[in-house]
Copies of this chain bind each other. A is one copy, B any other.
Amino acid sequence: MILTVTPNVALDITYRVDQLIPGSSHRVRGVRERAGGGGINVARVLHGLGHPTMILGFVGSATAAALTTDLAQGGFAHELISVEGPTRRSVAVVDSSNGAATLFNEPGPRVPAATWDDLEARLAARLPEATALVVSGSLPPGASDDACARLVRLAVAHRVTVLVDTVGENLLRAAAAGADIVKANSSELLDTTGLSDVTAAATALRRRGANAVVASLGEAGMTAWTRGGCWRAALPAPVVGNPTGAGDAAAAALIGGAAAGAPWPDRLRDAVALSAAAVLQPTAGSFDMDHYREFVPQIVVEEHHAPGLDR
């Protein structure tokens, strides 16, 4: 069973419009609504790949019913801790004329320290049955800089492989706490480390304590810096669509591969293929199995040598 923690659960709303024209009024042709946020999207993809999952996180009490009903209907095991207020919404507007998605992400409700403690207790109770842990997504307002690191320490203490996909001080501290895999997109890595080069940023995170760092480079694919070597993987041609869930699909592939003990080049190949298959779907957490299978053999994986750290 793979555990996923979503510190900032979202109600993902997807609107389909004929064409997005800033400053004008749009009739929404289609509305889709479901539970989202990093860890939940990762669990959706893992679920689609056949992995048993368990979702943990916080949910705003005012709109909890819509989210838990959606997760229950999808057959997702979950344990969401209620916090006061509505769950944050994330609105994706998909332009039918070109497939492009425009996103609006609410900040989310404040989670009290005692509720974070509750999450840690529940996570500790679940870790003995877990093969891996993913902590993914933005942090709710008021979260401690150490919030993710504390979850990582629990996983490390239970010898459970842990992947962290977030940004800022929380990502730095999660690396220092010994996260197995730290994943972010290249601009998030640069923002987090304050460096201007992705390789330097990845090296800095490994020096802090992360075992491996994976950077997604958008259309240019992904790079992994690990103890066993460094690899770059990409599709020969980029795909166009909704990039919202691409990072979550990559995280699902990476943790699924880690849980299965797959070699890094295969994990990275899978991450790029699943990511591209997710871009072609309008909603985060979805991917098309046919596209995924079609992409896997097309991915080009190259080994390269990163300066600074020995393997």
Stretch at the interface among A16-24, A121-129, A146-154, A291-299: A16-24
Bound Cα distance A50, B276 (Å): 57
Instruction: Kindly report which residue of chain B lies nearest to residue A25, judged by CB atoms.
Output: B103
Known: A62-B66, A66-B62, A91-B91. A26 touches B105 (CB 8 A): yes
Bound Cα distance A218, B240 (Å): 37
Interface size range on A against B: 20 to 34
Chain B residues with CB below 8 A from A231, complex form = none
Contact between A26 and B103, CB atoms less than 8 A apart: yes
Asked whether A229 is an interface residue with its Cβ less than 8 Å from the other chain, the reply is no
Chain B residues with CB below 8 A from A62, complex form = 66
- Mask of A20-56 contacts with B, CB within 8 angstroms, 1/0: 1111111110010000000000000000000000000
Bound Cα distance A95, B104 (Å): 12
Asked whether A102 is an interface residue with its Cβ less than 8 Å from the other chain, the reply is yes
Copies in the complex: 2
Besides A13-B89, A66-B86, 10 other CB < 8 A contacts?
A15-B106, A20-B102, A24-B102, A25-B102, A25-B103, A26-B104, A27-B107, A28-B105, A31-B106, A62-B66
Contact between A22 and B95, CB atoms less than 8 A apart: yes
Instruction: Kindly report which residue of chain B lies nearest to residue A106, judged by CB atoms.
Output: B28
Bound Cα distance A17, B106 (Å): 10
User: What are 19 A-B pairs at a CB distance below 8 A?
Assistant: A13-B89, A20-B22, A20-B102, A22-B95, A23-B101, A24-B102, A24-B103, A25-B102, A25-B103, A25-B105, A26-B102, A26-B103, A27-B105, A28-B104, A28-B106, A28-B107, A62-B66, A66-B86, A91-B91
The 6 closest A-B pairs by CB, nearest first: A23-B100, A25-B103, A28-B106, A20-B22, A26-B104, A22-B102
